[in-house]
Structure 1
Amino acid sequence: LRHQAAALGLHKRVRFTGDLPHTSLPAFIALAACTVDPVLDNAVARARSPLKIFESMALGVPVVTGAVGDRAELLDHGRAGVLVPPGDVAALAAALRALLEDEPRRTQLAAAARQHVQRYSWAHLARQWAAVYR
């Protein structure tokens, strides 16, 4: 990947960090213009909620991912992130390129993501569950 990034002239825009302690990840994620969750449509992807999407949204970093499982709901059906057909490499690349070239859209998605992800906070979920048991 390093050679490919260099061949494409991206060596100044892409960082390969290697393994990092989990505690340092928020600082690195916050530096990103966007994050990507390239996902295929399979039983595992449909059954799990990826932590990286929640982390990116909470940090105000737009997410590009495949429309699989609950990802559409997590991204407020495209209002808080970008959804592409799962496994469609061309659509994923086009969405990333468009987002990287459109700073106002990234800013809008980041704000929407920060607001929408609050629905999944422990405090919010605890209030919802408490209301069920009252």
Structure 2
Amino acid sequence: MWEIPTEAELDAVVELDWDVAGPWSAAEELAATVAEWTEILEDQPRKELAADLLRGYAAAGGTLPAPEPGLFTTWLVKQVNWTMLLARRSLDASCAQAEPPNDLDHLMRRLRRAPERLPVLLDLLACHEPGKPG
């Protein structure tokens, strides 16, 4: 269960994500969006999409965070949780499925790529000047 934000935290923008059922910082949400939109864990990540996403975010007034690994912690936990859920659904014969089982090998390959792709994500964030809105 997540904790109720303090009064000081209520002055900041807080996003609530159903996957983690708790508040995220805007910087973590942006980092996760970069990771998802670039499909960073797939065979052929689409790194070129990061520049447009970050440029648009800054142009809309968003403050770009300084790149640091901790920004991706919640996103990585979500990847593990999602893989666990899909593995459970794929392996549990009693689980009624409206869709075919997911390829567990593919899911595990994605997770194994995470450590090697984290520096790539940090480089994508570092290409833009942190701390300044567009």
Return the TM-score normalized by structure 2: 0.29
- Between 1 and 2, higher relative CO (CA 8 Å, sep ≥ 6) is seen in 2
Structure-1-length-normalised TM-score: 0.29
